[in-house]
Amino acid sequence: MDVFEAMDTCTAMRYFKEDPVPREVLEKLIYAATRASNPGNSQGWAFLVIDDPQVKQIVGDKVLQGMAPFFANRPPGQDGVEERMLQGAEHLAKNFAKVPAWIVGMARKVYPPHDPQESFMHSTIYPAAQNMIVAARAMGVGTCFTTFPGHAEPEIRELCNVPEDLHMFVYVAVGYPQRRFMPVKRKPMEEVLTWNRF
Ligand SMILES: Cc1cc2nc3c(=O)[nH]c(=O)nc-3n(C[C@H](O)[C@H](O)[C@H](O)COP(=O)(O)O)c2cc1C
């Protein structure tokens, strides 16, 4: 698939089939992530793939506990699109354990070497995660960037023995899509592009 077609149709997927995603496919996603640009080529990233059903169940229960107040009190979406997005986000959280794999994007504070800064951890992990979701789309695999599993960070750290110096940033849900990939809806170019001067 052409890379522009993959980017154009790389919608966040929140509904997945339960079929497992083969490890070779998951490894290819990590390969794609690690091709990304990163500060000074410091490559301070690390990726934890969680596909163990027991771990997903424990983490999923904790996530749901953390999200329950939000789901109970959330205001309705401002329009149909936002409401569908919120419903999808709720579905994803409630079905955490059924998502075939979760990839946790993590980073170490290593850049610049003489005075490591927290901001460079973000610069490290987000381009990598974006590479990953575009590569997944090209392989017919659905993904959704999320942050809500942060509610279960202590449990993930303990169950998965995550080293202390790794900071957890993004939790990418991965699976074969149950719904169709759609064109992403973004602002028109004219609204966001300026040549030389505003
Ligand atoms: C850093 C980041 C965090 C996100 N967190 C969540 C999340 O917690 N739950 C969720 O359902 N979607 C999450 N998303 C997905 C966005 O909501 C989604 O990309 C956006 O609504 C646009 O939809 P589209 O990508 O399908 O076009 C996140 C995206 C990013 C980049």
Chain segment 117-171, per-residue pLDDT in tens? 999 999 999 999 999 999 999 999 999 999 999 999 999 999 999 999 999 999 9
Q: Tell me which residue has its CA closest to atom 8 in ligand 1.
A: 146
pLDDT band at 46; cut points 50, 70, 90 = very high
Res. 76 pLDDT band, cuts 50 70 90: confident
Tokens representing 174 are: 């991965």
Reference 178, options 19, 29, 24, 23; nearest CA is 19
Query: Which pLDDT score, from 0 to 100, does residue 119 have?
Result: 96
pTM of the model: 0.96
pLDDT for 72 equals 87
Q: Which of 14, 82, 96, 145 to mutate to test the pocket of ligand 1 (most atoms within 8 A of CB)?
A: 145
Ligand 1: which of 121, 144, 184, 187 to mutate, judged by most atoms within 8 Å of the beta carbon?
144
In percent, the amount of the chain with pLDDT more than 70 equals: 100
Determine the residue of 8, 74, 103, 147 to mutate for testing ligand 1's pocket, defined as the one with the most ligand atoms within 8 A of the Cβ atom. 147
Question: Which residues contact residue 156 at a Cβ distance below 8 angstroms, ignoring those fewer than 6 apart?
Answer: 48, 50, 55, 59, 104, 149, 162, 168
Peptide bond into 75 cis (omega under 30): no
CATH level 3 topology of 3-180: NADH Oxidase (3.40.109)
Distance in Å, CA 10 to ligand 1 centroid: 11
Residues forming beta bridges with residue 103, ordered by sequence position: 49, 172
CB within 6 Å of ligand 1 — which residues? 11-12, 14, 85, 88-89, 92, 144-148, 170, 184
> What number is the average pLDDT over the span 82-105?
95
